[in-house]
Every structure is written in structure tokens, then in C-alpha cells.
Amino acid sequence: MLYLVPTPIGNLEDMTFRAVNILKEVDIILAEDTRTSAPLLKHFGIDKKVFAHHQHNEHKAVSEIIKFLKEGQNIALISDAGTPAISDPGFLLVRAAIKEGLEVQCLPGATAFVPALVNSGLPNDRFCFEGFLPVKKGRQTRLKALAEEKRTMIFYESPHRILKTIEEFITIFGAERQASISRELSKLYEENVRGTLTDLKLHFENNPIKGEFVFCVGGLE
């Protein structure tokens, strides 16, 4: 069995009982960054073999992992925070396991975009998840394709690009488009900033820019 196990995006109390039990029972844990996962596993008393599985080695590692699964070993994949394969490694392994007829289970659990969307105040009956935009090649093409999108759009962004992204969104979507930015979700300094894109630009020009960002933008009305 291949398990995809969500891990907390900040607050360790968001770890589920089932997630802890699965990680204690499997034979091998695959982690996006073993240094990041070590404190989490120690906190919950999980002592298992942990191997790195990240974007730089996943293509090469998949065949070896499939081999272990075929031998009858149970394997859990975790990312640094949130649900594996959502803007994190995991898709290639899941696809390969399914192709080989192996069983795959994804546990429900933490992921950053759901609380950010729900508390944004923007329509959430229909939405599109865009994750991280391309840094260079294809970025403008992707944005222009979204200019007429009517659903709420969800993006992930890093702190050093957030102001540039807000400015790009103003150009593409208009300065008065409603939006919301959430950072440090579930942590001590969680912040949710709502308003027009101009309001968000003004806020982050005058306040510290730290943490990981989830950017929700209202669709075209």
C-alpha cells in the first residue's frame, strides 16, 4: 500500500490520529525533506526509516519505490507541510503505482488553500487552483489566460515575489478586483488581508513580508 499522508501546515495539533498511526505502522516513510520531517516524527514518537523524495530525485526514485511496494512493503509519502502532490512531489509516484495495479490511499488532512479560500470571503462554490505560477517562461501566458476566469482563483506565492505578483495581478485583473492573501496559516502570527488588489498592495508595502502566502483572487463578475 502507498499512503499519502498530509502533515500540519503549521500547528502540530492539526495532525490526525490516523496519520500518526499510519506513519507508525508503515515500513518506510518518504519525506520531501528529511531535516524538516525529523522534528515532526520525533514529536509524535515515530521511529521509522525515512528517505528523501523530492522534485530533484523523484523521477529516478519511482522505479525503486514501486519495487518495494511490489515486495509487500507499506510506504507513506509526506511533504514538508500539507498534502503530498499538491504543489509538492507525489503525482509521478501515484501515477506509477496505479499503473502497476498497486493500492493507493490519500488520507484527508491539512492543505493550505482550503482554509485560505474559505476565510477569504470570496465565492467558493466554484474555484480553480493554480498553485505556483511559472517564475519566468509561460507566466504572462498563464495570467492572460486567466483574465476572463469567472471562478475564484487560488495561487501560492513566496514572500520575495508577493509584491511583484500583486502588481501583475493589478495589470491583468484590474486594481479594484477583490482578493485575499493569507499567510502563516494555523500559526501564531496568522494573517488574512482582504480587499481590492490595491488595498493588498498598500498593506504589504507597509508591513513585514514573511511566511508562505496563499493568494485568492475573485473571478470576473
Averaged pLDDT score across all residues of the chain: 95
Pairing of strands 178-183, 191-196: antiparallel
Work out the percent of the chain whose per-residue pLDDT is above 90: 92
Query: Do 85 and 116 belong to one domain?
Result: no
Q: How many domains does the chain have?
A: 2
The CATH number covering residue 86 comes to 3.40.1010.10
Q: Are 176 and 197 in contact, with CB atoms under 8 Å apart?
A: yes
Query: Do 100 and 12 belong to one domain?
Result: yes
Provide the pLDDT for residue 178.
98
Contact partners, residue 141, CB within 8 Å, separation at least 6: none
pTM, 2 dp: 0.91
Query: Do 66 and 142 belong to one domain?
Result: no
Which structural domain range is residue 68 located in? 2-106
Which among 83, 106, 129 is the end of a domain? 106
Place of cell 514501486: 66
With a cut of 90, say whether residue 197 has pLDDT above it.
Answer: yes
Per-residue pLDDT tens over the stretch 154-178: 999 999 999 999 999 999 999 999 9
Round to whole Å and give the CA distance between 80 and 37.
7
Phi then psi dihedrals of residue 195, to 5 deg = 150, -160
Per-residue pLDDT tens over the stretch 55-81: 778 888 999 999 999 999 999 999 999
Q: Where are the beta strands (DSSP E) in the chain?
A: 2-4, 28-31, 49-52, 75-78, 104-106, 127-132, 152-157, 178-183, 191-196, 213-217
The 10 Å Cβ neighbour count of residue 165 is 18
Phi then psi dihedrals of residue 139, to 5 deg = -65, -50
Round to whole Å and give the CA distance between 128 and 6.
21
Per-residue pLDDT tens over the stretch 32-49: 999 999 999 999 999 999
Query: Do 99 and 124 belong to one domain?
Result: no
Query: Do 175 and 97 belong to one domain?
Result: no
Query: Do 78 and 60 belong to one domain?
Result: yes
The CATH number covering residue 139 comes to 3.30.950.10
Provide the pLDDT for residue 58.
82
Grid cell in block for residue 56: 530533484
Provide the pLDDT for residue 57.
83
Which among 106, 126, 157 is the end of a domain? 106
Provide the pLDDT for residue 208.
87
Round to whole Å and give the CA distance between 15 and 31.
16
Pairing of strands 213-217, 2-4: unpaired
Q: How confident is the model at residue 15 (pLDDT cuts 50, 70, 90)?
A: very high
Provide the pLDDT for residue 6.
97
Per-residue pLDDT tens over the stretch 93-132: 999 999 999 999 999 999 999 999 999 999 999 999 999 9
